[in-house]
Structure 1
Amino acid sequence: MLLTITTTHQPATDLGYLLHKNPARLQTLEVAGGQVHIFYPEATAERCTAAVLLDIDPVALVRNHRGPAGEGFALEQYVNDRPYVASSFLSAALIKAFNTAMNGTCKDRPELPEVLLPLQATVAVMPAASAEQLVRLFAPLGYEVETAAHVLDPTVPEWGHSRYFTLHLRHPALRLRDLLSHLYVLIPVLDNDKHYWVNAQEAEKLLHRGAAWLPQHPDREFITRRYLRNLAEYVNPTLERLLAGDEAASDDSLEAVLPPDSAAEDVAGSTEPAGPDHAEPAAEKQKLHDVRLDRVAEEIRRLGAKRVLDLGCGEGKLVRRLLRLPQVEHILAMDVSMRELQRAHERLHVAEMPPRQRERLTLAQGSVLYHDPRLTGYDAAAVVEVIEHLDENRLAAFEQVVFARAQPGAVLVTTPNADYNQRYEQLSAGDFRHSDHRFEWSRAQFLAWAMGVAERNGYRVRIEPLGPEAAEVGAPSQLAVFER
């Protein structure tokens, strides 16, 4: 599978910053069923092209049960188009390779993700019912669409054309992350197949990646049904939320919705999909993210903190909780992404706040990896689901910035518990819960890191579980409370 993305924006090599991939070297990542190679066939100031080559191992598909089941045709597992055509494997590779770009983050050039670029994209082999279907799906998004049909067999022209096309897309002015989100959603829609079970988490991903454009698309119902494999229990609520502009369509993490422990017990270790018999009513599901935020806010209340840092604040969900605490006099909420800060400003209705309330809050762009004098003089700092998004070799810089230089009275750090991952049947061994995670730690690893940080910086620390605990693997998330 081959995808190329080209820009003539000046300088065109800005594409390398946006994709977080150096044009000067080949990069290879392991993905489900094979490897993805990222390289640049051309990289000049006038024109830059990034190529994504997905090399799927057909034997691994059979061994890992990620390919066709072979039912009804004994050779289907071995004779199929899975290694060669754009499919959900390519969508998964995009998330693995370009998650930073898809989330609109560029550390070195934070303003760049908002720039509208002239973009071209080519998918070498795209399955579709017809060329008209490709136009119908991409043209409403502003693309100029060109297709080239492939014959079934050039030696037997009377057989006619196949269902495969080379797809060329051109857009005069588009954010790169929008192009990637369009491809991420529409590629498996056109292929109409997925190499993993469709479930509630897949509905959340569609809401997250499609929230900005799918509600206005004339074929939104077709796209939603195909993406969710026509499963009514997911299709109908998702369409309702899309049309309602549901704010909940903002977190594509596997762990966004945590089933009650009894439901998790039913499906743990199963190789079968969690069907309707295992599904819990939506009203009874508990959001793990809310569990974390509520616990952190409660701990800040218990500590009596008056000045609080929210580092990696995102769209401000913890800030909303902290503003409800009368003891909190000021909150500095910081994030590296200007887009997330803008969303926080809008969702917290900062412009409509009474003056006294507004004075309690400062939204600021910044990074936990670089010394910032604004971070000093605070009673507590919350770092909720942030460290796993950092490269492990940058954690020493994080420790220096937060613990050694800023020195808040207390630091609250949460991170996933990797021991618990075996209870998520969608995860293969070694997979992370979120494609942007750079690592996930077991309880022993997190404890060892926390004890070392505390000892080196004059803190004491305690660790506690977050979420329902299960025998042998603990809770899905973990909290470290450091106090000076």
Structure 2
Amino acid sequence: MFLKISTTGTHERPATDLGFLLHKHPDNAQAFTTSYGVAHVFYPEASEQRCTAGLLLEIDPVAVVRRSRSGARGGKGDAALAHYVNDRPYAASSLLAVALSRVFSSALRGVCKARPERAEQTLPLRIEVPVLPARGGPELVRRLFEPLGWAVTAEPVALDEQFPEWGASRYVRLALDGETRLAQALRHLYVLLPVLDDAKHYWVSADEVDKLLRAGDGWLAGHPEQTLITSRYLARRRSLTREALERLELVRLADADDSDVEEIDNAVDENSDTEERPVPLAVQRREAILTELRDSGAERVLDLGCGQGQLVHEMLKDARFRQIVGVDVSVRALTVASRRLRLDRMGERQAARVRLTQGSLTYTDKRLAGYDAAVLSEVVEHVDPDRLPALEYAVFGSARPRTVLVTTPNVEYNVRWESLPAGHVRHGDHRFEWTRDEFRAWAERVAARHGYGVRFAPIGPDDPEVGPPTQMAVFTTTEQKEAKAA
């Protein structure tokens, strides 16, 4: 079982930097013990102009049999023989994917202390896998890798070259050529090698969903074969596949940052140099939310769907918010939020006030219970309507903060945006946009079902004909209302 990674370079950027990125010195051949054999890393060539790293996984067939939990693949009658007669020692599979994560763990994470700037740069890469099982043939290989920017060569391997009339096997010789970050390339392989084999050598449990989302961060949510990849990676377990797909649908929420809307919000007459620039709607929205949080007396606040941390950043400026938790489904958005907040440079006392955590808002989470307030700012419109009841229960029924603030676009106001085409929503990821009556009906129904009172407030200019650009509902529990009245 073999894989080669090659790159080219110059005197200023030598190809041998590949050794720093992989954390494996080109002058040394190294061996690493895995659960199923030994992984060898070596460099067939290493110069400034070209460098190639090889990963050879030497499988122990006895270990494969001993550690097998689910038996051999194939029919029941073949199970005993298939334990010993199989392609595992020769063909790339989930065994090779696990070896990648074991041997190149830092490279997978994009960590390189010696050359941090190189870890963030794209490299010209060529990846070769001489024997790759491909259930779906060369066409499926292309469908999986080409949308990721790879030039794909997938040559079928003959069943027997001496008897071409027997036709091709289910294996291909794979070569990928492209320019990308090394970490991203390794993540593509980590996910797609077992997907093409359509089998895993270990039991697939619930934590595999998190592994998939971590490795797929930045590319899987927009992949045209997302459903097939997710199903095969999770061994076709329906419950896990459904959870992963639902979480992937919300990943785009973080990418749907306020920037698109702010372009509309900030539109002014280009010929009016002296006209005062209006306050962006996103800023007005955050100010309105902060005012409501202060009025509620909240000290421990959840920012649900926190995206890249703009609201968390503003709350940290106010000492009355002594505990702030940002929750988002996207690991990438949380990474950006962490950088925005400079958590790694924050003083100990300030850092103790804030926590960023990954999670889906359509699933109950015991970690979110017991807080004073929760904010869903421009979140609900990114959720499919048939998943809204799950979000409602997770927030209002399970977490049940004393105050909940929900903001969402008012679709009636869209006619006032000159740059927004007629009939379009404000962002391509919006599943819907409500009128004022629709939002009111939804909020009152949720409040009645879960024991909250609700009132409504406009955000932005309140047009006499179409209302405000953003509408906000302020939910308070009966206990909170009585406390404020006292």
Q: Given residue 217 of structure 2, which amino acid in structure 1 is its aligned partner?
A: A
Q: Deviations over 1:389-437 (max 9, x none)?
A: xxxxxxxxxxxxxxxxxxxxxxxxxxxxxxxxxxxxxxxxxxxxxxxxx
1:455 paired residue number: none
Q: Which residue of the partner structure matches residue 112 of structure 2?
A: 106
Matching residue within 31, 37, 42 for 2:40? 37
Distance across 2 between alignment mates of 1:91 and 1:349:
30
Gaps spanning 5+ residues in structure 1: where?
Answer: 249-300, 302-314, 330-339, 351-360, 366-374, 383-484
Kindly tell me: are residues 154 and 214 of structure 1, through their superposed partners in 2, closer, same or farther at Cα, counting changes over 3 Å? same
The equivalences for 1:50-89 within 5 A come to 50-65=53-68, 68-69=71-72, 71-73=76-78, 74-89=80-95
Instruction: Give the AA of the match of 2:145.
Output: F
- Is the 1:32–1:89 contact (alpha carbons within 8 Å) kept by the matching residues of 2? no
Q: Which residue of 1 aligns with 2:172?
A: 165
> 2: CA distance between counterparts of 1:121 and 1:210?
19
Deviation track 1:438-479 (CA, whole Å, cap 9, x = no partner) reads: xxxxxxxxxxxxxxxxxxxxxxxxxxxxxxxxxxxxxxxxxx
Q: Which position in structure 2 is the counterpart of 1:223?
A: 229
Other structure's SS at 2:63 match: helix
Q: TM-score, normalised by structure 2?
A: 0.53
State whether residues 4 and 55 of structure 2, in contact with CA within 8 Å, keep that contact through their aligned partners in structure 1.
yes
Change (3 A) 1:67 1:44: farther
In structure 1, distance between residues paired with 2:89 and 2:203: 19
Contact 1:8/1:46 (8 A) holds in 2: yes
**SS of aligned partner of 2:145:** helix
For 1:163 and 1:42, the matched residues in 2 are separated by 31
Counterpart code for 2:104:
F
Matched residues, number: 288
Looking at structure 2, the residues matched to 379 and 127 of structure 1 have their Cα atoms a distance apart, in angstroms, of 53
Distance 1:378 1:232 in 2: 43
Q: One-letter code of the match for 1:4?
A: K
Which residue of 142, 146, 153 corresponds with 1:146? 153
* Deviation by residue 1:34-60 (Cα, 9 ceiling, x = unmatched): 010001000000000000001111122
Instruction: Report what 2:16 is aligned to.
Output: 13
Partners of 1:108 and 1:25 in 2: CA distance:
18
Instruction: Give me the whole-angstrom Cα distance separating, in 1, the residues matched to 2:51 and 2:317.
Output: 49
Cα 1:378–1:59 change in 2 (3 A) is closer
Structure-2 separation of matches of 1:57 and 1:65:
12
Q: Distance in 1 between matches of 2:335 and 2:63?
A: 47
Aligned equivalents of 2:47 and 2:214: distance in 1?
34
Q: Secondary structure at the match of 1:216?
A: coil
C-alpha distance in 1, partners of 2:96/2:172? 16
CA 170–378 in structure 1, closer or farther in 2 if over 3 Å, else same: closer
Identity %: 48
SS at match of 2:104: helix
Q: Does 1:235 align with 2:241?
A: yes
- CA contact under 8 A between 2:29 and 2:41: conserved in structure 1? yes
1:185 to 181, 191, 210: 191
* In 1: Cα distance, 2:344 partner to 2:106 partner: 20
Q: How much does 1:236 deviate?
A: 1.0
Query: Are the structure 2 counterparts of residues 380 and 26 from structure 1 closer, same or farther at C-alpha, using a change threshold of 3 Å?
Result: farther
Q: Which runs of 5+ in 2 are unaligned?
A: 255-299, 301-307, 323-330, 353-486
The residue correspondences of 1:410-421 to structure 2 (distance < 5 A) are none
Counterpart CA distance in 2 for 1:246 and 1:32 is: 36
Equivalent residue number for residue 295 of structure 2: none
Q: Residue 20 and residue 326 in structure 1: after superposition, are their counterparts in 2 closer, same or farther (change >3 A)?
A: same
Specify whether residues 345 and 242 from structure 1 end up closer, same or farther in structure 2 by C-alpha distance, changes over 3 A only.
closer
**Using a 3 Å threshold, how does the CA distance of structure 1 residues 364 and 63 change in structure 2: closer, same or farther?**
closer
Range moving further from structure 2, 54-63 or 20-29? 54-63
Matched, 1:121 2:124: no
Alignment partners' CA distance in 2, 1:99 and 1:92: 10
| Deviation of the 1:362 alpha carbon | 4.8
Equivalent residue, structure 2, for 1:175: 181
Residues 260-319 of structure 1: CA distance to partner in whole angstroms, max 9, x if unpaired? xxxxxxxxxxxxxxxxxxxxxxxxxxxxxxxxxxxxxxxxx9xxxxxxxxxxxxx99xx9
Cα distance per residue 1:339-363 (max 9 Å; x no partner): x9x966742694xxxxxxxxxx655
Letter in 2 for 1:222: L
Within 5 A, what are the aligned runs for 1:391-410?
Answer: none
Q: CA RMSD in A?
A: 3.5
Which 4+ residue blocks in structure 1 deviate beyond 4 angstroms?
A: 322-325, 342-345, 361-365, 377-382
State the Cα distance separating 1:147 from its structure 2 match: 1.9
- Change in Cα spacing, 1:111 to 1:125, as seen in structure 2 (3 Å) is same
Task: Provide the rounded CA distance (Å) in 2 between the counterparts of 1:344 and 1:46.
Answer: 37
Aligned to 1:290: none
SS at match of 1:12: coil
How far is 1:157 from its partner? 2.6
Cα deviation, residue 28, structure 1: 0.6
- Counterpart of 2:6 in structure 1: which amino acid? T
Instruction: Give, in angstroms, the shift of residue 113 of structure 1.
Output: 0.9
1:216-252 Cα shifts (integer Å, max 9, x gaps)? 111111111111111111111211111210799xxxx
How far did residue 30 of structure 1 move? 0.7
Contact 1:89 1:195 in 2 (8 A): yes
What are the residue-to-residue correspondences of 1:436-455 with 2, within 5 Å?
Answer: none
Is the 1:211–1:242 Cα contact (8 Å) retained in structure 2? no
Q: TM-score, normalised by structure 1?
A: 0.54
For 1:37, give the aligned amino acid: H
Cα distance in 2 for residues equivalent to 1:58 and 1:327: 61
Q: Which residue of structure 1 aligns with residue 365 of structure 2?
A: none
**Residue 153 of structure 1, CA deviation:** 1.7
Tell me how far apart the structure 2 counterparts of residues 93 and 345 of structure 1 sit (CA, whole Å). Answer: 26
SS at match of 2:72: coil
* Aligned residue in 2 for 1:347: 337
Bigger radius of gyration among the two: 2
TM-superposed deviation, 1:69: 3.0
CA shift at 1:209, angstroms? 0.8
1:144 & 1:155 partners in 2: Cα distance?
30
Q: CA deviation at 1:133?
A: 1.2
Distance in 1 between residues matched to 2:343 and 2:349, nearest whole Å: 18
